[in-house]
Amino acid sequence: MLYRENGQFKTSYRADQQMLPILQDRIFMGLLLVFVFVVAPFVFSNYFFLSILIPFLILALAALGLNLLVGYCGQISIGHAAFMSVGAYAAYNLVLRVPQLNFLVVLVLAGLIAALVGLLFGIPSLRIRGLYLAVATLAAQFFMDWVFARVKWFTNYAPSGSVSTATIDIFGFQINSPVRKYLFLAAVVTVFAILAKNLVRSHLGRAWMAMRDMDVAAEVIGIRPVYAKLTAFAVSSFYVGVAGALWGFVHLGSWEPLAFSITLSLNLLFMIIIGGMGSILGSFFGAFFIVALPILLNRAPDWLGIHLSTAMVSHLESMIFGALIIFFLIVEPQGLARLWSIGKEKLRLWPFPH
């Protein structure tokens, strides 16, 4: 009854082409934004910001970037943490060597550098696909791990190989408290999510999806595979590079090359598989699932009044987490985003069955 588009007639293509054509969706998104920017900063504890919301927002941005490549363009990559590390180290070196740069400029430049590296490692995609491409992108992972561990210039000759960052300052606004970090990230992620949504609903996005669904037909109607695939790699790496810079500067503060290992790459892939391939919303669902669920599982025994040893809790956590992933994939292989849209379709008809 509430979610019904009856009577919302579109009288122009502009109205039909808008981002959220259904009034209820616009209201929901508006309320969500109010909650994120106005209510949330007063409601949640510092612990909640630091251990859940901040990593969630950054990883959602990275998952979104990966989703543009894997979910929208159909090119598999299991080396995306490498591009995160490129973004993080690029930002570190930019801040170190050109201190007068505004951090927002640093973010964009770090993203562009990651995009360039991503473009390079995307070149094999022009010849190979599927699992073979996945293995080729693994090369990016190992190569970047090696570069940042061995080439000392990138880590400013730090003896331990770990680097640390100063507090971010944007036009005199210090990003030093959990709430400020959260608000800064929420703003960045909102902007990037809107840009991504715009991309996938314009002709570049359609070219990506055409490559994903049927590459021969895409070529025949004039879509150039080189352009479509390489832009997907570049844009995806840009997003992931920005996320990497944020991960280093806002979340970690100081890090060593292992922070961007293959585990993180795989986690990003899990996020988009669980959240939903080819869905921007799905990237957020997936990131939240991967970030919040282990913490929830970890604390659940305490809340339930069961006292277990720490080792036991962490073993149980891994087991239940793995089982839940399998459960979700069996129930809905297309991810949480698909569940969400099924829910919306049901809601359109509710309370009637048909």
Contacting residues toward another protein, per CB under 8 A = 13-14, 17, 195-196, 198-199, 202-207, 209-210, 212-214, 216-224, 231, 235, 278
Rank residues 167 and 202 by Cβ distance to another protein and give the closer one: 202
Cα separations (Å) of 225 from 43, 77, 196, 212, 230? 48, 17, 20, 10, 8
Question: Could you tell me if 111 and 291 are in contact, meaning their C-beta atoms sit under 8 angstroms apart?
Answer: no
CA distance 145 to 154: 12
Rank residues 18 and 102 by Cβ distance to another protein and give the closer one: 18
For the CB of residue 240, give the shortest distance to another protein in the complex, in Å.
16
Cα-flanking dihedrals φ and ψ of residue 170, to 5°?
A: -115, 110
For the CB of residue 231, give the shortest distance to another protein in the complex, in Å.
6
Rank residues 221 and 331 by Cβ distance to another protein and give the closer one: 221
For the CB of residue 199, give the shortest distance to another protein in the complex, in Å.
5
Rank residues 16 and 302 by Cβ distance to another protein and give the closer one: 16
Rank residues 248 and 278 by Cβ distance to another protein and give the closer one: 278
CA distance 37 to 255: 29
Strand 254-255 to 168-170 pairing? unpaired
CA distance 182 to 313: 29
For the CB of residue 226, give the shortest distance to another protein in the complex, in Å.
9
CA distance 204 to 161: 40
Rank residues 38 and 214 by Cβ distance to another protein and give the closer one: 214
For the CB of residue 209, give the shortest distance to another protein in the complex, in Å.
5
Of 320, 266, 66, 49, the closest CA to residue 175 belongs to: 49
CA distance 29 to 45: 24
* Distance of alpha carbon 100 from the chain centroid: 29
Of 181, 165, 218, the closest CA to residue 41 belongs to: 181
Question: Could you tell me if 206 and 83 are in contact, meaning their C-beta atoms sit under 8 angstroms apart?
Answer: no
For the CB of residue 272, give the shortest distance to another protein in the complex, in Å.
15
Angle formed by the axes of helices 262-275 and 280-303, nearest 10°: 100
- Please report, as a single letter, which amino acid is at residue 249: F
For the CB of residue 201, give the shortest distance to another protein in the complex, in Å.
9
For the CB of residue 210, give the shortest distance to another protein in the complex, in Å.
5
Rank residues 188 and 223 by Cβ distance to another protein and give the closer one: 223
Summarize the chain as % helix, strand, coil (round to 5). 75, 5, 20
Rank residues 169 and 213 by Cβ distance to another protein and give the closer one: 213
